[in-house]
Chains A and B, each alone.
Chain A
């Protein structure tokens, strides 16, 4: 059983039909199409080929879902990589954020300069994905941007900064994290409580890294 159990045993062709039709009632379109895209991408070369082809006619939610799905399987296509980097110039934040996700998961380090130009983007999800990209691909450069992001006005960015500091075992961030224990948003508080649970014992460990 998966997030949409009704998709579990569908063939690629049946998934494609669902992907080309409106979401089930009350379902969020991006969530719905993303799940289908993940399933298709993981059906092998035919699924990947379909998604790469479908990108040309895709609306915003379908395009973002395709990028998300394709981020879960290895890609060796230089042409597709160039296309994803070009999406960083797109006007739609949903497309930009999923392009950054694809670049992070495909370990595309040579997009750093371009990604960094988006760290003050108006959309909080884009700013959060920039933090993910730096943390995953350039952990040695991530500490300062993450600490600065703890003061971001949007909870998604603060929460992402906390999760990344947690995953980087950034024990020197503990005092900064403690200051967010009373954050207004419950997701930030949950992230901080978890990070502190992990990092406080890390002080005793010899391999803990810090900023």
Chain B
């Protein structure tokens, strides 16, 4: 039996955090240094970023079912 499709709200929340971390972190006064930001952008652009790469404050709101998954994996699950 195929796995259940994730809730659309969880998909949106997870993808938003993994795509817009620079903006979202700055809302919480978290400043990612430029060298680290370049590395995060590279991981995002190839779909390999996970929430573990991001500031802790963004992990708190991240949907639990996607916690160890890459952006690419989450997009696939959410497209089912």
Contact = CB atoms under 8 A, between A and B. Distances in A.
Given A71-B60, A167-B13, A198-B12, A31 B32 contact: yes
Contact of A30 (B27, B30, B36): B30
B20 interface: yes
A56 interface: no
A125 B23 contact: no
Contacts of A66: none
B16 interface: yes
Contacts of A156: 26-27
A163 B12 CA distance: 12
Interface of A: 1-3, 26-28, 30-31, 34-35, 37-39, 68-69, 71-72, 94, 97, 101, 105, 125, 128, 156, 159-160, 163, 167, 169, 187, 190-191, 194, 198
B6 interface: no
Contacts of A187: 23, 26-27
Contacts of B26: 156, 187
Contacts of A94: 29
Nearest to B51: A2
A30 B12 CA distance: 28
Interface string B43-79: 0000000001111110110000000000000000000
